[in-house]
Amino acid sequence: MSKKAEPRHLILPTVVVPPHPVWPSLSSEEKTALKTRIKALLQEKDAVLVAHYYTSADLQELAEESGGCVADSLEMARFGHEHPAATLVVAGVRFMGETAKILNIEKRVLMPDPGATCSLDEACPAELFSAFCDQYPDHTVVVYANTSAAVKARSDWVVTSGIALALARHLAARGEKILWAPDRHLGHYVQEQSGAEMVFWPGSCVVHEEFRAVALERLRRIHPQAAVLVHPESPAQVIAQADVVGSTTALIEAVVRLPNQEFIVATDKGIFSKMRQSAPGKVLLEAPTVGEGATCQSCASCPWMGMNSLQNLLTVLETGSNEILVPPELAAKALVPIRRMLDFARQLQG
Ligand code: 13P
Ligand code: SF4
C-alpha cells in the first residue's frame, strides 16, 4: 500500500494569468507573404523552427513546411538536440527554450516571446523549491519539464508527461521515494497508477485546472459514443472519466488509433489542428471549462502559448532579438537530469 505525504507549510506565489493575446488578423495573401519571408530567413540564418502543439495552426504548419517540427515537450527537446541547425527557434513557452539552450549550449536559441511563461514554472520559485527539497533528503527529486533551469538544477530527474508514469514505476521498483514537482494533478495521477511513495509540490496548470468534472459528465451523456481524452495535468475527477490519459502526442495518436468517430478532448484546444490533420473527418469536442455559474480564465487556450505569432517570429528572425541565455554553470547542473530524461526515454523506446 503506497503512502502520500503532504507538503509542509508551503505558500506558493500568486500567478497572474495574462489575457489571451489578440493578434491583428491577416488576409491569406499577407499570411503567405509572411510565411515565405520567414522560410527564407530560416534558411539564410541556418535556423530551424521547433513548435508545440498548443501554438497557432499557422505556426504549426510553418514548422512542418520548413523542415522543423511540431511536437510535445519531450520531442521538442529531442528534435532540437539532434538537428544540425546553428539556431533553434522555439515557438512555445520559456521552459522549452531554456531546455533547448541547456541541451545545446553552443547553439543560439531564439523565442518569439521570452515572456511566454507557464503557471507551473511561475509557482515554483527555485529558492522555495530548494528549501522544500531540503525537508525530504531521502526522496528522489523528480521535476516536470515545465520548470526553470534553476529548479531543474536542484533535481535528480526531469520528466515530461510522455514518460512521467514510466519513470515513477521505475523508481518505485527500485524502492525510491519521490518528491514530485510542480504539478500536483499529474503527481497524484502518477502516484495512484504507480503506487510510488510520493510527496507533492502543490502547483497546477491554469489551463487544465479549469476542466470541470460535472459538466464533462453531462457532455458524455449527450455524446455516449465519444472517447474522452485527458491530459494528466487535469483534476482527478476529470482524469477519472478518461478513456485515454496521456501527453499531447499520446492524445493525438489516440484520435487516429481508436475506432470512435467522436472525441471529447480535455487539453489546450491548440491541439485540435494536429488532430484534424491526422484524423480528418473525426468529430472533436472541447471538454467543458465552465461549471455552473463559473467563467473560465484560459478557456482551454494557454495565454502564454498564445504569445507566439507569425509576426513576432518574423521579428526575432530579422533582428536576432529574444535570445535565450542560461548561465553556463547553471546549465551544466540542469543538463544532468535533462540528459537522464532523454536517456530514459530512449530506453523506453527500446
Ligand atoms: P506535453 O509534454 O504533453 O506536450 O505537455 C506540455 C504542456 O505544457 C502541457 O500543458
Ligand atoms: Fe504551462 Fe499549462 Fe500553458 Fe502547458 S498549458 S504551458 S502547463 S500553463
Q: pLDDT digits over 180-237, tens only? A: 999 999 999 999 999 999 999 999 999 999 999 999 999 999 999 999 999 999 999 9
pLDDT of residue 1: 41
Ligand (nearest to CA of 251): 1
Residue bearing the CA closest to ligand 2, atom 8: 118
Residue of the nearest CA to atom 1 in ligand 1? 72
Confirm or reject: Cβ of 72 under 6 Å from ligand 1.
yes
Q: How many residues does the chain have?
A: 350
Does 120 sit in the ligand 2 pocket, CB within 6 Å? Answer: yes
Task: Give percent of the chain above pLDDT 70.
Answer: 97
Residue 160 CB–ligand 1 contact under 6 Å: yes
Nearest CA to ligand 2 atom 3: 302
Is the CB of 55 within 6 Å of ligand 1? no
Which ligand neighbours the alpha carbon of 206 most closely?
Answer: 2
75-113, pLDDT tens digit by residue? 999 999 999 999 999 999 999 999 999 999 999 999 999
Taking residues 1-20, report their average pLDDT: 75
Q: Which ligand is nearest to the CA of 52?
A: 1
Q: Kindly report the protein residue whose alpha carbon is nearest to atom 2 of ligand 1.
A: 73
Which residue minimizes the CA distance to atom 6 of ligand 2?
A: 118
Q: How confident is the model at residue 293 (pLDDT cuts 50, 70, 90)?
A: low
Q: Quick check: CB of 302 below 6 Å from ligand 2?
A: yes
Nearest-5° Cα angle at 184, 242 to 201? 170
In this structure, what C-alpha cell is assigned to residue 180? 514530485
Protein residue with least CA distance to atom 2, ligand 2: 205
Which ligand 1 atom lies nearest to the CA of residue 72? 4
Predicted pLDDT of residue 295: 81
Rounded (10°) angle between helices 73-82 and 328-349: 110
What is the tens place of the pLDDT at every residue in 113-157? 999 999 999 999 999 999 999 999 999 999 999 999 999 999 999
User: Ligand 1 within 6 A of 233 CB?
Assistant: yes
